[in-house]
Structure 1
Amino acid sequence: MTAPTISAKQVGELRKLTGAGMMECKNALTETDGDVDKAVELLRVRLGDKALKVGGREATEGTVASYIHSNGKVGVLVEVDCNTDFVARNEDFISFAREIALHIAASPSTLYVSEDEIPQDAKDAELRVFEQQAADKPENIRPKIAEGKLKAWMKDVVLLNQVHVNADKYEGKTIEELRATLSGTTGENVVIRRFSRFAVGA
């Protein structure tokens, strides 16, 4: 039996309903054959109601952090949101936003915050290229090779999928894992809303 294909739209819908992390939502949907109601139930069991209620709350407070590289040629602005002004002024929260800005400055390939922001036509275009690159491989393994390359590409361009550039400091954790940890410790829905990266001559 083949695993169901879970769309970014389904993952996004489940994230809105629960506030759970993207990979948690994707795994829950895979395990429940794409049934959103059952996936909500599964996440409630795994994460507890408190975590999900926090996630479901609108993130209307937050901070804008900046980072400018020492050579003055690369700069980043990032908006990170939360539920209350109290947490928005919390040192851990502000420090997290700064660390995200630093990471983006060091990662020029980052284009999107999450996978569900990637336009479908951009994904399709990449997949076509990867399929052509695999044309010299046996036909039965070509789709798998192309899918693997697409996943690797998404790791390069999607912020939440990336391991923080200070891998030693953060024990090789991804940005999504760091975001989820902060969400847990603050008890609020922490959302990396958007970012802009500026580079001289780019």
Structure 2
Amino acid sequence: MKISITQIKKLRKLTGIGIMDCKEALIKSEGNFDKAINFLRKKGKNIAIQRSVLEVKEGGLYSSVNDDQTFGVTIGLSCETDFLSKSKDFLDFLFMLSKISLLYNNKEKFLSGYYCGKTIQDLIIEKMGIVGEKIELKIFERIQSPFVTNYIHNNYKIATMVGFSSHDGINPTIARNIAMHITAMNPIAIDEKGIPDSIIEKEKEIISYQVKKENKPSNMKDKIILGKIKRFILENSLLNQKFIKDDKITIQEYMNKFNKNLKINIYNRITFP
């Protein structure tokens, strides 16, 4: 199967792995990106866990939280060039739409909603005529909880929102620290129960493949596999992760310092692309 340079560059951007390794992985997987990533991981390449392989596009993300901090919305606009995605004109438009998004519960209602006598969709079309590029609302994600906070990475490519069970014992700085941690560490789930069985089974397959090649007794290999799976679960469940600002404690222990009854109800970490 012939693999294009565009496919290779896309896989390289997704994984950070060298061009020749990406080419080999795509050939072996017949162009399937998920299978190519698994192939690279089986070879021992250090790649962040991929939730799904998204089409690489330019654009930006922004999230806003309402005044009483009980819900928030993240929106993402796509465009055609990196140059436009970094421009003041595009970012100002993104910020404006983000504030308006708080008035709506879903993407469809938002696009058909009105601002200054025009629908949001009409405003987007109008902006396309000004900048000369196709612009689309690709992302609209809303979360609700007794206390919601957000964090936007400074390149507007990652936006995180976190919903806590209470305001008690937690101030904006503490909440923001946890949102920053999620942005940096990209957990799969809040705790080990939230990690899908499909991800754990896939990880077992990769670990078993790697351990199988080691010259060790079978019973020792089984213990190594179990140990690696346990470590994988701890490293990818938010409450068990080591806090980025103090690696001597976990996120759960960090929250316990302020309120032992505090829980994280929900979070989302969205990347673009």
TM-score bracket, shorter-length normalisation: 0.5 to 0.7
Q: Aligned AA for 1:96?
A: I
Q: Aligned AA for 1:105?
A: T
- Distance between the aligned counterparts of 1:120 and 1:61, measured in 2? 26
Q: CA deviation at 1:103?
A: 0.5
Aligned pairs for 1:129-144 (under 5 A) are 129-136=206-213, 137-144=216-223
Q: Aligned AA for 1:150?
A: I
- Distance between the aligned counterparts of 1:116 and 1:180, measured in 2? 20
Aligned pairs for 1:154-193 (under 5 A) are 154-167=233-246, 172-184=248-260, 189-193=261-265
Q: CA deviation at 1:180?
A: 2.3
Tell me the alpha carbon deviations over residues 83-116 of structure 1, each in whole angstroms, 9 at most, x when there is no partner: xxxxx1x5734332211111011113x1100001
Long gaps (5+) in structure 2: 1-143
Secondary structure at the aligned position of 2:193 is classed as helix
CA 1:103–1:68 in structure 2 vs 1: closer, same or farther (change >3 Å)?
Answer: same
Q: What is the aligned counterpart of 2:231 among 148, 152, 155?
A: 152
Secondary structure at the aligned position of 1:172 is classed as strand
Aligned pairs for 1:115-130 (under 5 A) are 115-130=192-207
Q: Share of identical aligned residues, percent? A: 29
Alignment check: 8 A CA contact 1:76 1:195 kept: yes
| Count, aligned residues | 128
Secondary structure at the aligned position of 2:165 is classed as strand
Alignment check: 8 A CA contact 1:74 1:200 kept: yes
Q: CA deviation at 1:160?
A: 0.7
In structure 2, what is the equivalent of residue 74 of structure 1?
158
* CA RMSD in angstroms, aligned pairs only: 2.2
Long gaps (5+) in structure 1: 1-59, 83-87
Higher Rg: 2
Q: CA deviation at 1:119?
A: 2.4
Higher helix fraction (1 or 2): 1
TM-score by length of 1: 0.57
- Distance between the aligned counterparts of 1:61 and 1:198, measured in 2? 18
Report 1 or 2 for greater relative contact order, CA contacts < 8 Å, sequence distance ≥ 6.
1
TM-score by length of 2: 0.43
CA 1:163–1:94 in structure 2 vs 1: closer, same or farther (change >3 Å)?
Answer: same
CA 1:74–1:121 in structure 2 vs 1: closer, same or farther (change >3 Å)?
Answer: closer
Tell me the alpha carbon deviations over residues 107-148 of structure 1, each in whole angstroms, 9 at most, x when there is no partner: 13x110000112233323322321221113321201111111
Alignment check: 8 A CA contact 1:74 1:197 kept: yes
Tell me the alpha carbon deviations over residues 156-202 of structure 1, each in whole angstroms, 9 at most, x when there is no partner: 321011111112xxx62100111222224xxxx2111111112221x
Confirm or deny that 1:105 pairs with 2:189: no
Alignment check: 8 A CA contact 1:63 1:81 kept: yes
Q: CA deviation at 1:77?
A: 0.5
Alignment check: 8 A CA contact 2:152 2:159 kept: yes
